[in-house]
């Protein structure tokens, strides 16, 4: 199952299976609502996303008596990770916009440099679609923006859980990986 990370892959998703993906879907749906004004072709993507969210919430959150503490903890953790993603994308967007202004360029000019349409470059800059590694290398080289600013290093909650489990299983005392290493 694909994780929800890019609006161009929503049509390949059959169902939401994790709290992280629900939070990610919620974030993308909010961004899509205002992007549809510029690009009405995004409407089917938003509709599919809303259907996926409704089905997940109906399955996992409908009955208050069946909601567990673990489920609430997972939801809180997913929300924390998404908030870090929002901070990252906002910071990256501002740095890119600042550099564009410094170079007397528009977002559309950046799209031409990268070979992307105006609407797609908007999706990339706003974090609803993912930059390719090639795009990020070009942006880094042209605008001298550090990779720390361009490439997200947070780990999704389901991957965090797997890492935590593997670290415990390995039982390596000299491994000092902690919450900060996994969630930063």
Interval 16-50: pLDDT, tens: 988 989 998 999 899 889 889 888 988 999 999 99
Q: Are residues 91 and 163 in the same domain?
A: no
In a domain, 2, yes or no: no
CA-only gyration radius of the chain, Å: 19
- Is residue 163 assigned to a domain? yes
Question: Model's pTM, two decimal places?
Answer: 0.77
Same-domain check for residues 64 and 17: yes
Query: Do 117 and 161 reside in the same domain of the chain?
Result: no
Looking at the predicted structure, is the pLDDT value of residue 80 above 80?
Answer: yes
Q: What pLDDT is attached to residue 175?
A: 59
Give one word for 155, left, alpha or beta, with left for phi > 0 and alpha for psi -120 to 50.
beta
In a domain, 1, yes or no: no
Name the residue with tokens 């809303």. Answer: 50
Range of the domain at 126: 7-153
- Based on the structure, what is the number of domains in the chain? 2
Q: Which residues, other chains included, contact 127 with Cβ-Cβ below 8 Å and sequence gap of 6+?
A: 31, 85, 89, 92, 93
Within this chain, do residues 144 and 177 fall inside the same structural domain, yes or no?
A: no
- Give the model's pLDDT for residue 38: 83
162 with 126, same domain: the answer is no
Same domain, 95 and 178: no
Handedness of CA 65, 66, 67, 70 (dihedral sign): positive
pLDDT band at residue 1 using 50, 70 and 90 as cut-offs: very low
| 106 and 164 fall within a common domain | no
For residue 3, count CB atoms less than 10 angstroms from its CB and return exposed for 0-12, middle for 13-18, buried for 19 or more: middle
Instruction: Indicate whether 79 belongs to any domain.
Output: yes
Answer yes or no: is pLDDT of 67 > 50: yes
Look up residue 45 and give its two tokens.
């993507």
Within-domain flag for 33: yes
Mean pLDDT (whole number) for 105-132: 92
Provide the pLDDT for residue 69. 93
Q: In this structure, is residue 37 part of a structural domain?
A: yes
Same domain for 108 and 89: yes
Q: Can you read off the two tokens belonging to residue 115?
A: 């070979």
- Based on the fold, state whether residues 113 and 167 are members of the same structural domain: no
Burial environment of residue 61 by CB neighbours within 10 A (0 to 12, 13 to 18, 19 or more): middle
pLDDT at 178 over 60: no
Residue 146, in any domain of the structure: yes
Residues 54 and 111 grouped into a single domain = yes
């Amino acid at each position: 199952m694909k994780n929800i990370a890019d609006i161009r892959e929503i049509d390949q998703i059959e169902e939401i299976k994790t709290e992280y993906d629900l939070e990610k879907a919620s974030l993308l749906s909010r961004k899509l609502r205002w992007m549809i004004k510029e690009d009405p072709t995004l409407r089917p993507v938003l509709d599919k996303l809303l259907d996926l969210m409704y089905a997940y919430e109906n399955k996992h959150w409908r009955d208050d008596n069946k909601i567990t503490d673990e489920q609430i903890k997972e939801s809180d953790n997913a929300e924390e990770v998404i908030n870090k993603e929002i901070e990252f994308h906002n910071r990256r967007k501002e740095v890119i916009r600042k550099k564009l202004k410094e170079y007397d360029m528009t977002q559309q000019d950046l799209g031409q440099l990268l070979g992307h349409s105006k609407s797609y470059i908007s999706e990339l800059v706003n974090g609803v679609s993912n930059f390719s590694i090639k795009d990020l290398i070009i942006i880094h080289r042209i605008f001298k923006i550090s990779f720390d600013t361009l490439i997200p290093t947070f780990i999704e909650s389901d991957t965090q859980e797997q890492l935590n489990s593997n670290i415990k299983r390995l039982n390596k005392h000299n491994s000092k990986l902690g919450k900060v290493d996994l969630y930063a």
